[in-house]
Amino acid sequence: MNKLKSQGIAPIIIMIIIVGVLAVAAGGYFVAVKRPTSVVSPQTQMPPLNEYQMAPPTAPATCDNYQCLISAAAQCQPISVIVSYSGMPSPFLSGMLVSGQTKYEIKKSSGVNDCVLVFSSPVTVFSISNKGREAALAKGMTDAQITAQLQTMNDSLKSVVGIQTCPSNTSAISAYLTDMKDNGGNLKIESKVNSTGQTTTYTASAGQKLICTTVTLPKEQP
């Protein structure tokens, strides 16, 4: 493996392991429930009932976009989503483009953190934008070094997958997903690695914090 420079895009490999890359999108709907007609005797005066009453919004069990995922998160409604994307600007790595798939799951739990978000990127392929390549060249990297580093990055993602588990609440999960819907540009990310594993704290633009633990597992080979 070529020795990589500390400038340019060299730190990207470490960043991938720390934060991963995600992208998904979606939508929910409201249901109108007609209430039964009340029978009132002439002697009894009662206030009129509204003919219709809105039920809580409902999200489908599966979807393929952020809006329906956010709708499910707002209710902590169990949902499983796999989304494909191509040539999306990386929300975490400037000058990089990412293609692949991301899987999200929302699960109910108990206690203070009564909702859990789980996500992973089973397929991830990185490329570099023209501006990113120009910036790397300006910092002294050669085209051959850039190509070699991209190959190393993508090869490292073929054999393992990082699964992040985030026990939290509907407010924090919804805030995180809302920022991710906007390509994650407003998220603040802090990661720590210790003897028990890796912990990543995502701070949404609205101020809520989502704390996730990462487990790296070997990918199932076809």
Query: How high is the pLDDT of residue 203?
Result: 96
Query: How high is the pLDDT of residue 46?
Result: 42
Burial 65-77 (b: 16+ CB within 10 A, else e): ebbbbbbbbbbbb
Q: Has residue 5 been placed in a domain? A: no
Q: Is 55 left (phi over 0), alpha (psi -120 to 50) or beta?
A: beta
Query: How high is the pLDDT of residue 135?
Result: 93
Model pTM score: 0.66
> Among residues 138, 204, 137, 168, which one has the least CA distance to residue 74?
168
Query: How high is the pLDDT of residue 54?
Result: 40
Query: How high is the pLDDT of residue 93?
Result: 80
Q: Has residue 94 been placed in a domain? A: yes
Q: Has residue 43 been placed in a domain? A: no
- Which residues in the chain show pLDDT less than 70? 1-61, 91, 185, 221-222
Query: Whole domain around residue 89: which residue ranges?
Result: 12-28+56-218
Q: What are phi and psi of 18, to 5 degrees?
A: -75, -50
Tell me which DSSP letter residue 58 carries.
B
Q: Has residue 172 been placed in a domain? A: yes
CA 91/CA 184 separation, integer angstroms: 5
Q: Has residue 171 been placed in a domain? A: yes
Query: How high is the pLDDT of residue 222?
Result: 59
Given a contact cutoff of 8 angstroms between Cβ atoms, the answer to whether 191 and 199 are in contact is: yes
Q: Has residue 207 been placed in a domain? A: yes
Q: Has residue 46 been placed in a domain? A: no
Burial 26-56 (b: 16+ CB within 10 A, else e): bebeeeeeeeeeeeeeeeeeeeeeeeeeeee
Query: How high is the pLDDT of residue 60?
Result: 53
Query: How high is the pLDDT of residue 119?
Result: 95
Please count the structural domains in the chain: 1
Q: What strands lie across the sheet with 197-203, from one edge to the other?
A: 62-63, 79-89, 96-108, 115-128, 160-168, 209-218, 197-203, 188-194
CA 202/CA 210 separation, integer angstroms: 5
CA 80/CA 74 separation, integer angstroms: 15
Query: How high is the pLDDT of residue 216?
Result: 86
CA 40/CA 34 separation, integer angstroms: 18
Query: How high is the pLDDT of residue 141?
Result: 94
Q: Has residue 175 been placed in a domain? A: yes
